[in-house]
Amino acid sequence: MKRLVILISGRGSNMEAIVKACKAEGWPAEVAAVISNRPDAAGLQFAAEHGIATAVVDHKAYASREDFDAELARVIDGFSPDLVVLAGFMRILTPGFTARYARRMLNIHPSLLPAFTGLHTHERAIAMGCKIAGVTVHFVTAELDHGAIVIQAAVPVLPRDDAKALSARVLTAEHRIYPQAVRWFAEGALVWEGEVVRHRDGAPQQLFVS
């Protein structure tokens, strides 16, 4: 039984999707804790209502990123996780922290990486005239929004889209592929080939949403 610790900063809709899928689909895993860097994160209430342990490590209480990351790691390790899942966790993590959880920390980013790393992905995709946008689940490294790709979903950019409309379409895809990626990890279905991750049975690692 794999133990999952999920990190959030806000409402945690991807966290909710993972919690619900884990229970409904009977994964060989349990969500051991949900941790936030914001005391007012709405997702903490959802977790508590579902019997999941919660904790807050408020980044504002620490003088440096290194101090915050050290305390965050201490709290995470108290739950003995097999996998750390970043689900809307809005903090840039230090190299020491990412190295500590190398190959056992996932993130979701609302673009088809390596395109549009960082913030404002939907605005940038529209401004560039992209016809396809999407979302990527990847393992976390010290380089922001890089690391081995586990699964991606592509969605169309429609002629009259603004960032809000595109974001909503991408979010629907996020809620499909993030639980899938976490389930694959829990089932031991992900295989490393150098710096690339494959599904051991050749399951498709891409989704196209019309």
Type of residue numbered 45: Q
Q: Which residues carry out catalysis?
A: 109
CA nearest neighbour of 183 among 16, 11, 51, 30: 30
Q: Answer whether 46's CB lies under 8 Å from 78's CB.
A: no
Q: How far is CA 68 from CA 62, 110, 123, in A?
A: 5, 25, 31
Q: Please tell me the distance from the alpha carbon of residue 154 to that of residue 136, in angstroms, as a whole number.
A: 9
**Cβ-count burial 16-45 (b if 16+ within 10 Å, e if not):** bbbbebbeeeebebebbbbbbbbeebebbe
CA nearest neighbour of 157 among 108, 113, 111, 207: 111
Q: Please tell me the distance from the alpha carbon of residue 35 to that of residue 149, in angstroms, as a whole number.
A: 24
The alpha helices in 51-144, defined as continuous H runs, are 65-77, 95-100, 121-127
